[in-house]
Amino acid sequence: MPPTRVGVIGVGHLGYHHARLYAGLPDVALAGLVDTDAAKAATVAGEFGTRSFASVQEMVSAGIDAVSVAAPTTVHHSLTRDLLRAGVDVLVEKPIAKTAGEAEDLVRLAREHRRILQVGHVERFNGAVIALRQAVKQPRFIECHRLSPYSKRGDDVSVVFDLMIHDLDIVRALDGSEVVSIDAVGVSVFSAFEDIANARIRFASGCVANLTASRVSVERMRKIRIFETNAYVSTSYSDQEVLMYRKMPGPLSPDQDPMEAIQIESLPVTKEEPLRLELESFVACVRNRKRPEVSGEDGLAALSLAQRIVDFIREHS
């Protein structure tokens, strides 16, 4: 097969790495870049041996199979809509769009035009998350912390859409039942939107998830803890480590220290760059016409849940 011709729209912090990785993937040709900053696009294009285009239309006309949309969220819908209509497969960064209505439109267009629509929830490709999903069967309580210092990047939206949405997608993947209740609170510190937020979600299965996201933390933290019957799993996204604490079968003897009955196991984790795995998966879906690991429908569900949380915060502030 000829190489898959891919492009990148938006070569900021994240789009740059999309271009870097595409340029190194086998059987992939980085066909071009587009950015509102033409000089920046030209510089990045020169670094990776490709060309910069003056517009998305020009790039599409030059012949392209697939595109990563790494532009600001406010233009996700318009860019992805036009690409799908032009017959191009799309990986759009999270969140899939600014509103659930826009996301629903993109899902519909992808179906109508029989295009691949993948959403960039990159944590699904984190080796620790992959191991976690294989180990956890029936979560009862999930606790997520995603904290980082303030960087001004992504502060044009609530921290729920910027950071918490990653964990909302993972929680939904772990418990796919209906959300029956939400309680949430959030505060603005530096931006015009929530910079710190906490949400407590109850699912129809009985599972409860407690999620905290902050972009004004002194330290970085990306952890998830899951409690099952007779088991507790702790995961560090950053370190890509998964520890499982499990109660050994059988009764305790009267003089036994209960903690001696806890077996600790470090689960095997394949430590590869999650974004690279995400892009490889996208290209494979483009070539084989398979449903993405994180489909447009998944992106819509995560965005809809994030919107419900933000609505709750603002209605009860």
Say how many CA atoms lie within 13 Å of 114 toward its Cβ: 2
Token digits of residue 238: 């950053």
Residue (of 85, 86, 90) closest to 71 by Cα position: 90
Q: With H, G, I as helix, E, B as strand and everything else as coil, classify residue 305.
A: helix
Q: What are phi and psi of 293, to 5 degrees?
A: -60, -40
Q: What is the pLDDT of residue 104?
A: 98
Say how many CA atoms lie within 13 Å of 303 toward its Cβ: 27
Q: If you search the block for the tokens 């972009």, which residue do you land on?
A: 215
Pairing mode, strands 66-69 and 4-9: parallel
Contact (CB, 8 A) for 141 and 201: no
Model confidence pLDDT, tens digit, residues 224-280: 999 998 899 999 888 889 999 988 887 888 888 888 888 899 999 989 999 999 999
Model confidence pLDDT, tens digit, residues 61-85: 999 999 999 999 999 999 999 999 9
- What's the predicted TM-score (pTM) here? 0.92
* Burial of residue 67 (number of CB atoms within 10 Å: 0-12, 13-18, 19+): buried
* DSSP per residue, 110-166: HHHTT--EEEE-GGGG-HHHHHHHHH-SS-SEEEEEEE----STTTTS-HIIIIIHH
> Quick one: DSSP state of residue 260?
G
Q: How far, in whole angstroms, is CA 86 from its chain's centroid?
A: 25
